[in-house]
């Protein structure tokens, strides 16, 4: 394992300290917790909390700040944060109007965030939540019952963050979150595996010319191993799978994200976006009203990309996506 770290079991603490130090005008680490909270004074808005295992940076702490999340709670690498850590996050996010949790659909996260919700309710904080399950690659997986939550979660953060900032109520945010989740579709592939520093070796192996379609963001198995193909053919595979789910028609509006998995350079991500453009814009005649390319939901040092499509059901979502933010990673 070749990594710039100190003790493997201190990686998360060191990382959170480095992040909070580098961007102390935007965020702070709540002492004695794994909670990264924004530095803004409370404004009486609904608190927005996300989080999960570490290793997906800039998710989720990179999206804490004005216009996106109030708080992110970090677990150990690829491991859900504990209910008591999430409770600390909920308390830090609470501005008196309730707190909304954005949970990626993994068994550990769902269980621990639910438990934290109950604990917070005992302390008279109103809490509601969404479980994001945008990954269309596989039904149940090694880490989840049902579909996994992946890069589409970042669009969820952005849209709910803008809505919360503009004064939406907890009930309105819940309804918006459900509508967004119903229109959110992602799929990924890996060229090389991730190495969890707490484990010390790659989570799986791929041959020199092999890729895996449908990979999860913790290296969970996808649906097919094949030889590496040109970018255009990778894009075709993604688009054909997404079309079956999203069932689009010409001129339908979509937001699109090409997301790097951590070790894939922007060069390749932009090449891939160019092939997605040809297929979706020129080919399918979709109206891609919002576009984003970069590392947003990574899998430590995995090489690969994912593609996320959000069908725009309400033009207000476009405004929410374009609304200004003050965060590290958007």
Give me the least distance between CB of 250 and its own copies, in Å please: 19
- Binding its own copies (rule: CB under 8 A), the pick from 9, 140, 266, 319 is 266
- Binding its own copies (rule: CB under 8 A), the pick from 39, 82, 129, 274 is 274
- Binding its own copies (rule: CB under 8 A), the pick from 94, 134, 212, 275 is 275
Tally the C-alpha atoms within 13 A of residue 272's C-alpha that lie toward its C-beta: 29
Interface with its own copies includes 243 (CB under 8 A)?
Answer: no
Give me the least distance between CB of 221 and its own copies, in Å please: 19
Give me the least distance between CB of 307 and its own copies, in Å please: 11
Spatial CA neighbour of 188 closest among 221, 159, 158: 221
Interface with its own copies includes 267 (CB under 8 A)?
Answer: yes
144 to 183, contacts with its own copies by CB under 8 A? none
Residue 60 appears among annotated catalytic residues: no
Residue 218 appears among annotated catalytic residues: yes
Nearer of residues 113 and 272 to its own copies, judged by Cβ? 272
User: In whole angstroms, what is the distance from residue 290 CA to residue 75 CA?
Assistant: 31
Strand partners, 127: 99
Torsion 216-220-223-225 (CA) sign: positive
Interface with its own copies includes 98 (CB under 8 A)?
Answer: no
Strand partners, 246: none
Residue 102 has a CB neighbour count (10 Å cut-off) of 28
Query: Pick the catalytic residue: 56, 60, 147, 148?
Result: 56
* Residue 262 three-state SS: strand
- Cα–Cα distance list, 290 to 91, 199, 277, 300, 325 (Å): 34, 38, 12, 26, 16
**Burial of 212 per CB tally in 10 Å (0-12, 13-18, 19+):** buried
304 to 323, contacts with its own copies by CB under 8 A? 305
User: In whole angstroms, what is the distance from residue 307 CA to residue 315 CA?
Assistant: 21
* Residue 68 three-state SS: coil
Give me the least distance between CB of 232 and its own copies, in Å please: 6
Interface with its own copies includes 208 (CB under 8 A)?
Answer: yes
- Binding its own copies (rule: CB under 8 A), the pick from 52, 62, 216, 219 is 62
Tokens of 33: 């917790």
Applying CB under 8 A, the residues found at the interface with its own copies are 2-7, 11, 14-19, 21-23, 54-55, 57-58, 62, 191-192, 197, 208-209, 211, 228, 230-232, 234, 258, 262-275, 277, 281, 291-293, 295, 298, 300-301, 303, 305
Active site residues per annotation: 56, 218
């Amino acid at each position: 394992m070749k990594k710039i770290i100190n003790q493997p079991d201190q990686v998360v603490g060191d990382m959170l300290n480095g992040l909070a130090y580098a961007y102390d005008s935007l965020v702070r680490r709540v002492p004695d917790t794994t909670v990264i909270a924004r530095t803004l004074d409370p404004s009486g808005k609904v608190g927005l909390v996300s989080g999960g295992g570490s290793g997906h940076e800039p998710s989720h702490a990179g999206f804490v700040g004005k216009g996106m999340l109030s708080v992110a709670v970090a677990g150990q690498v690829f491991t859900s944060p504990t209910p008591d850590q999430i409770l600390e996050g909920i308390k830090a996010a609470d501005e008196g109007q309730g707190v909304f949790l954005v949970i990626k659909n993994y068994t550990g996260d769902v269980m621990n965030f639910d438990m934290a919700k109950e604990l917070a309710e005992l302390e008279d904080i109103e809490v509601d939540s969404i479980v994001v399950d945008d990954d269309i690659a596989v039904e149940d997986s090694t880490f989840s019952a049902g579909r996994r939550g992946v890069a589409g979660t970042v669009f969820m953060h952005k849209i709910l963050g803008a809505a919360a900032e503009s004064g939406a109520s907890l009930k309105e945010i819940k309804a918006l979150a459900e509508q967004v989740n119903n229109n959110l579709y992602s799929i990924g592939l890996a060229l090389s595996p991730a190495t969890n520093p707490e484990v010390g070796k790659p989570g799986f192996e791929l041959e020199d010319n092999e890729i895996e379609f449908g990979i999860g963001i913790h290296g969970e198995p996808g649906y097919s191993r094949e030889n590496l193909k040109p970018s255009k053919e990778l894009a075709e595979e993604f688009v054909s799978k997404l079309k079956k789910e999203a069932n689009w028609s010409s001129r339908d509006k979509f937001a699109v994200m090409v997301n790097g998995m951590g070790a894939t350079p922007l060069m390749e991500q932009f090449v891939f976006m160019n092939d997605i453009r040809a297929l979706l814009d020129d080919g399918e005649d979709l109206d891609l009203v919002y576009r984003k390319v970069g590392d947003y939901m990574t899998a430590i040092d995995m090489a690969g990309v994912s593609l996320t499509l959000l069908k725009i059901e309400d033009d207000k979502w476009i405004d929410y996506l374009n609304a200004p933010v003050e965060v590290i990673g958007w």
